């Protein structure tokens, strides 16, 4: 059920972290992967090719409508269709992220990349998916959209918007066989964590019932399943991957 043989899948944020792991996992499952990132994703693309897979790399700022048009047009020109889209690209605020301390520039940056980028991606690929008989979209949100967390005002707003937008879009195009779902990761060991103090790392690990922090591969495996035939009857759902952190 998780094979992606002959599928054409675009992955954003494919240069590192969850995006890179998802691109690699999709390729392992048989997909041709269009690896995109703000600084391209050449290393990921080459890694897939070195393992015998098929990949193309594109530089993409997810905030840029023309960039999305270029990636979509290039993919359709070469392969004729887009089977899947996994949107991982996102950032956290570079300044204090509270309703009082957040700057307007930081608010706009977070909302543009983390939410507007998701909308532009779906707007770019859904018409071709409908034309080709359907497709799968997986948008990556966060548990910050589901529970109260300190210092995540803009981030939580954007990630909550992803869930709402994805749910609405999933219903809008369900009859066209376009499946849209969301993954909400908890704390995953990616570059976005930065060099956090060992005390904080240990505290986060201790607070996770599974006894460890998440790995990018944990998210990638579910993303690939949702992009495959296993996601055929899954519409508008949000899947939490957090090792049980929000369950207690």
Q: Which residues carry out catalysis?
A: 155
Whole-number Å distance between alpha carbons of 60 and 76: 16
- Whole-number Å distance between alpha carbons of 115 and 133: 26
| Dihedral, CA of residue 108, residue 112, residue 116 and residue 117, to nearest 10 | -170
Block residue for tokens 């703000």: 38
Query: Strands, E, within the chain: which ranges?
Result: 8-11, 32-37, 54-59, 84-87, 135-140, 178-185, 238-241
| Paired strand residues for 77 | none
Token pair of 109 as six digits:
């940056």
Tokens of 9: 């899948």
Backbone torsions φ then ψ of 172, nearest 5 degrees: -60, -40
Strand order in the sheet with 84-87: 54-59, 32-37, 8-11, 84-87, 135-140, 178-185, 238-241
3-state secondary structure of 150: coil
Q: Are strands 32-37 and 8-11 parallel, antiparallel or unpaired?
A: parallel
How many CB atoms lie under 10 A from the CB of residue 148? Answer: 7
């Amino acid at each position: 059920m998780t094979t992606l043989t002959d599928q054409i899948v675009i992955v954003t944020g494919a240069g590192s972290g969850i995006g890179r792991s998802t691109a690699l996992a999709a390729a392992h499952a048989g997909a041709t992967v269009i690896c995109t990132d703000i600084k391209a994703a050449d290393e990921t693309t080459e890694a897939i090719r070195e393992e015998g897979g098929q990949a193309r790399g594109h530089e993409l700022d997810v905030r840029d409508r023309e960039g999305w048009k270029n990636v979509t047009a290039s993919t359709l020109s070469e392969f004729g269709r887009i089977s899947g889209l996994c949107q991982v690209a996102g950032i956290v605020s570079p300044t204090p992220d509270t309703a009082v301390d957040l700057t307007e520039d930081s608010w706009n940056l977070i909302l543009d990349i983390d939410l507007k980028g998701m909308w532009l991606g779906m707007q770019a690929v859904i018409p071709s998916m409908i034309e080709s008989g359907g497709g799968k979209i997986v948008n990556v949100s966060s548990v910050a959209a589901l529970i109260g967390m300190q210092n995540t005002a803009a981030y939580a707003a954007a990630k909550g918007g992803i869930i709402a937008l994805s749910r609405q879009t999933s219903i809008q195009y369900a009859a066209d066989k376009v499946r849209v779902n969301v993954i909400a990761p908890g704390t995953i060991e990616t570059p976005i964590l930065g060099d956090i103090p060992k005390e904080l790392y240990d505290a986060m690990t201790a607070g996770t019932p599974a006894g460890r922090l998440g790995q990018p591969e944990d998210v990638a495996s579910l993303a690939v399943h949702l992009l495959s035939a296993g996601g055929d009857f899954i519409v508008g759902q949000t899947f939490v991957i957090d090792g049980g952190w929000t369950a207690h």
